[in-house]
Structure 1
């Protein structure tokens, strides 16, 4: 079968068919997937019963892999992060965000595989930061282009840090991830497209602004980026996979399934310094 893409929404997102991710991918197929990722920003696959080795091999085709400082991993695969919500330990992440922007070089992207999905609920939404930038006036685009913002691990994981023993458990992650600055408007290194690069989970303030100014501007940007016309929504099933461009999207899990069990496994691919 030929690889085909079925768009989910106008701004971003497409379901991909005609490919078996359990098989080794040749250079032409990898190139096609890169083009589809650049075009749609997040691409989805159904009925892909890959194992951990195949998951890792797929991600490695797009670059070196990262690990996450705060989550558990699959045994034998430190690159595969476990994202799990149970009745005893429900998920805490409920905000729109771009993964790991607290790092000097945030990820290129992530490949998330569904292991256990609730019968009802548990969708994920994505938003296009390029479409959000295009939706700004010329004057606002120009104003934002000279600004930088601070991104902070401690801010994003403040709820975990507030738990008993949280600071002790995350002490190493805190030490290794001090606050960093990134441009408010970044350029995609492959497409050249401009996009807004702030998120409510990790971005704390705009450099050089007072608190009131920073809060007002970030509040506007956070709301602007998640307008309905910039988003798509994906319904998870067992063995579904999402591969998103972390440089050009926000995403948000919809936590409407408690107390059902949900388990996802994610691999994150190295990126470069935003510019």
Structure 2
């Protein structure tokens, strides 16, 4: 994956602290074309046509700066281009600021007005370790041990593969996430790193005939683990609207394209990846399994399309674009005696996934601009 935001933004910010433009964003400018109507989301056939967004400034004191909208919009573009960015020891970031930031990232990069913050069907305030705010999902190793006890590897077991951990957040929703912000507030004594992998690069590593073939396919997305956990632990899934009027009910099943276009960058990526993807619809079950296993192997076998992040301090945070990256935590902190791994996660709801047939892969788009991928 490409370098993190520290390479892309902070070096520039040191030079332009006094030069950041205070020009407000135009409400109806070129980056906000064809805003989605009140509830109706764009489908794969009738998506909202948009041009890729462009950087206009540098990141500096973003949330309360006079030109905060410009800075947060630029941060959103950087995240969508790079996949994931990291900030160390953000001790002044509260849950409310975390929610504000991730919501504004989506709003300022053009998400529909009906898209708010996600409420997780399982990890919400109703759980023992769930906190008091439904819009903050508490990521807790202790909670996971209780709810998903049959999936947690303990020391007595010989864990030989962690590939099933890879996923993008909440792809089982009709309107899934654009950005996630995770802030770890309690670290284990060792372990608990997180890996991200690029869906842009996964798409670019496919041959052109395979790219064209996959662009005509859809997939079914669902989290059977959540349904079984609710039944086993005798609790009800959150079935009221979860950040969008379309994200309701307890079936937690939807259909999305296998290849989608990121509306911020205009780049294609493989979206059908990870443990929420149940079936590629237009092929046989055997062919579907072979394709999904092949996608997974391309990520697991190629370290150069991954980045691994070590959480060093409480209140380190990461922000990523779920439309174009996948992630997995390393399960090396689960054993007794290493302490709890705990964090606060805010998830912004984006737009309904679509494929723009005129969009390009990342490498092709950068080459057309005279830049290297």
* TM-score calculated relative to the size of structure 2: 0.64
Between stretches 50-59 and 187-196, larger displacement belongs to 50-59
Residue 90 of structure 2 corresponds to residue 48 of structure 1: yes
CA–CA separation in structure 1 for the residues paired with 2:140 and 2:217: 36
CA–CA separation in structure 2 for the residues paired with 1:156 and 1:194: 29
The Cα RMSD (Å) is 2.6
Residue 226 of structure 2 corresponds to residue 157 of structure 1: yes
Residue among 241, 248, 261 paired with 2:324: 248
Deviation digits for residues 167-196 of structure 1, max 9, x if unmatched? x43384894334211111111112110100
Deviation digits for residues 234-259 of structure 1, max 9, x if unmatched? 11121101000010000001110123
Structure 2 contact 60–71 (Cα < 8 Å) conserved: no
Structure 1 contact 11–128 (Cα < 8 Å) conserved: no
Residue aligning to 1:229? 304
Distance 1:158 1:228, change over 3 A: farther
Residue aligning to 1:177? 251
Residue among 8, 24, 47 paired with 2:64: 24
Distance 1:240 1:137, change over 3 A: same
CA–CA separation in structure 2 for the residues paired with 1:162 and 1:199: 26
CA–CA separation in structure 1 for the residues paired with 2:205 and 2:304: 10
Structure 1 contact 116–238 (Cα < 8 Å) conserved: yes
CA–CA separation in structure 2 for the residues paired with 1:23 and 1:11: 25
Residue among 72, 78, 86 paired with 2:124: 72
CA–CA separation in structure 1 for the residues paired with 2:101 and 2:273: 28
Structure 1 contact 12–127 (Cα < 8 Å) conserved: no
Structure 1 contact 129–225 (Cα < 8 Å) conserved: no
Q: CA deviation at 1:120?
A: 1.1
Deviation digits for residues 119-175 of structure 1, max 9, x if unmatched? 31000000000011001111111111101110013x24366256343xx43384894
Please give the secondary structure, in 1, of the residue aligned with 2:136. Answer: strand
CA–CA separation in structure 1 for the residues paired with 2:144 and 2:215: 45
Between stretches 124-133 and 86-95, larger displacement belongs to 86-95
Return 5+ residue gaps in structure 2 as ranges.
Answer: 14-58, 108-115, 153-163, 241-247, 355-373
Distance 1:97 1:80, change over 3 A: same
Residue 262 of structure 2 corresponds to residue 195 of structure 1: no
Residue aligning to 1:269? 348
* TM-score calculated relative to the size of structure 1: 0.86
Distance 1:249 1:85, change over 3 A: same
CA–CA separation in structure 2 for the residues paired with 1:169 and 1:248: 31
CA–CA separation in structure 2 for the residues paired with 1:61 and 1:78: 18
Q: CA deviation at 1:75?
A: 4.6
Residue among 268, 271, 283 paired with 1:209: 283
Residue 188 of structure 2 corresponds to residue 113 of structure 1: no
Structure 2 contact 131–138 (Cα < 8 Å) conserved: no
Distance 1:215 1:203, change over 3 A: same
Residue among 86, 89, 95 paired with 2:145: 89
Distance 1:23 1:215, change over 3 A: closer
Residue aligning to 1:5? none
CA–CA separation in structure 2 for the residues paired with 1:38 and 1:172: 30
Residue aligning to 1:36? 78
Structure 2 contact 176–352 (Cα < 8 Å) conserved: yes
More strand as a share of residues: 1
Q: CA deviation at 1:88?
A: 8.8
CA–CA separation in structure 2 for the residues paired with 1:13 and 1:205: 33
Count of residues in Structure 1 that have an aligned counterpart in Structure 2: 263
Task: Report which structure shows greater RCO (CA 8 Å, sep ≥6).
Answer: 1
